[in-house]
Amino acid sequence: MIQKNKMTEGQLRDELDKWEMVRYRMDDGGVEYCFRYYSSFSEIKDEEFHSKRRKLLNLMVEMEQLVADRITEVEDKIIELDE
């Protein structure tokens, strides 16, 4: 990332536009769509952002699996009651 204290006003405005676009996408399409389907936001040069984005994506996958597992467990218990 460019050193903030050495950035021109134009560079700062460009960076602000990028961050505002991320926020707009999160608000408009939802966080999941924003990060999973819309973009990887390669134009954002911020390692903390990308680290948290990757963690978020991994946690979404884990949550989907947890919910699917719980559904299967409860369905299995219902079937056992009928036997």
Instruction: Specify the pTM.
Output: 0.79
Tell me the two tokens of residue 73.
């467990």
Q: What integer pLDDT is reported at residue 4 of this predicted model?
A: 57
* Dist CA 79 CA 49 (whole Å): 45
Q: What integer pLDDT is reported at residue 80 of this predicted model?
A: 94
Q: What is the pLDDT of residues 32-81, one digit of tens each?
A: 999 999 999 999 999 999 999 999 999 999 999 999 999 999 999 999 99
Per-domain residue ranges of the chain: 7-82
Structural contact between residues 45 and 1, judged by C-beta atoms closer than 8 angstroms: yes
Residue predicted with more confidence, 11 or 5: 11
Q: What integer pLDDT is reported at residue 83 of this predicted model?
A: 82
Q: What integer pLDDT is reported at residue 22 of this predicted model?
A: 97
